[in-house]
């Protein structure tokens, strides 16, 4: 067999494997939607309405109680902050229980642990991202805020945020399998992380000592970048893209290494 034939066969095999995994993940996403929301009433539309209701409630509260800072729109600030918070809370929560609740699917040779956690994360990402986009347009049309002044910066900041959340979600998926205590304390721990999400305040508004502590959080850096994309020169932002990339890469690598050990943990249950 010629070298060119070997290359073609290898390429075909890789593309076929990629297509199979794409279909597996697509099937897992559909299964998750049906399992979670069913076929009745508005069904899967709850996927988008649920995070929207949470963000709308906070935005209305902040707008009509005058909780704003300078020229920043209270609705826009609440929308960016609480969308980030919902993404963090919902995604990590769902990924933490992904492996245990779907371990029966692992009897199918083509379904891997990574496929299961990836499917859940993609579902949450699509849910909160759609909510953020729709509410941005609605709030702008209602005169509650302006459209993002630098959309590309906002998109990149949101991407970094999703990347970090996915990495932490993989770690949570592993801990959810190997430790019964983790499931009991994680919900409380999520609330304790709120000050380190950047959702409730801009870093520049805080004392220098608090800034130094909070900027160790990749999520704070990502939310600062997201808000720079929304509000532009109206706000002072503090973040480091270099730190974001390094921290997210490290968390993702650790998550991938731990995900490989999940099957062994499930077998020991």
Q: Are 115 and 28 in contact, with CB atoms under 8 Å apart?
A: yes
Q: Is the pLDDT of residue 18 over 60?
A: yes
More confident position, 97 or 123? 123
Please state, in angstroms and rounded to a whole number, the distance separating the CA atoms of residues 31 and 44: 11
Q: pLDDT class for 267, splitting at 50, 70, 90?
A: low
Domain count along the chain: 1
Q: Is the pLDDT of residue 69 over 60?
A: no
Asked if residue 20 is part of any domain, the answer here is no
DSSP 67: -
Q: pLDDT class for 6, splitting at 50, 70, 90?
A: very low
Closest CA to 193 of 111, 93, 47, 70: 93
159: containing domain: 44-268
Asked if residue 34 is part of any domain, the answer here is no
Q: pLDDT class for 74, splitting at 50, 70, 90?
A: confident
More confident position, 5 or 25? 25
Tokens of 168: 């932490």
Output the pLDDT for position 5. Answer: 45
Q: Calculate the average pLDDT of the chain.
A: 81
Asked if residue 17 is part of any domain, the answer here is no
Angle value at C-alpha 165, between 197 and 124, nearest 5 degrees = 110
DSSP 145: S
Q: Are 111 and 105 in contact, with CB atoms under 8 Å apart?
A: yes
Q: Is the pLDDT of residue 16 over 90?
A: no
Asked if residue 219 is part of any domain, the answer here is yes
């Amino acid at each position: 067999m010629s070298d060119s034939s070997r290359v073609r066969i290898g390429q075909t095999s890789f593309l076929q494997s990629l297509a199979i995994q794409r279909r597996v993940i697509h099937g897992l996403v559909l299964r998750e939607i049906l399992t979670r929301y069913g076929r009745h009433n508005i069904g899967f539309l709850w996927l988008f309405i649920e995070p929207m209701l949470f963000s709308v409630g906070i935005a209305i509260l902040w707008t009509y109680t005058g909780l704003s800072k300078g020229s920043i729109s209270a609705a826009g600030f609440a929308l960016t902050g609480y969308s980030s918070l919902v993404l963090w809370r919902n995604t990590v929560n769902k990924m933490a229980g992904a492996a245990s609740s779907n371990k029966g699917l692992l009897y199918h040779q083509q379904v891997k642990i990574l496929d299961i956690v990836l499917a859940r994360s993609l579902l949450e990402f699509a849910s909160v991202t759609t909510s953020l986009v729709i509410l941005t347009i609605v709030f702008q049309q209602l005169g509650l805020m302006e459209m993002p002044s630098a959309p590309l910066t906002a998109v990149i900041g949101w991407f970094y945020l999703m990347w970090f959340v996915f990495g932490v979600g993989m770690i949570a998926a592993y801990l959810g399998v190997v430790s019964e205590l983790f499931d009991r304390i994680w919900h409380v721990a999520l609330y304790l992380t709120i000050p380190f999400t950047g959702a409730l305040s801009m870093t520049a508004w805080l004392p220098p000592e608090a800034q130094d502590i909070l900027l160790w959080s990749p999520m704070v850096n990502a939310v600062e970048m997201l808000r720079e994309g929304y509000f532009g020169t109206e706000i002072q932002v503090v973040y480091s893209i270099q730190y974001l990339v390094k921290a997210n890469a490290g968390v993702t690598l650790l998550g991938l290494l731990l995900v490989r050990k999940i099957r062994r943990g499930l077998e020991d249950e």
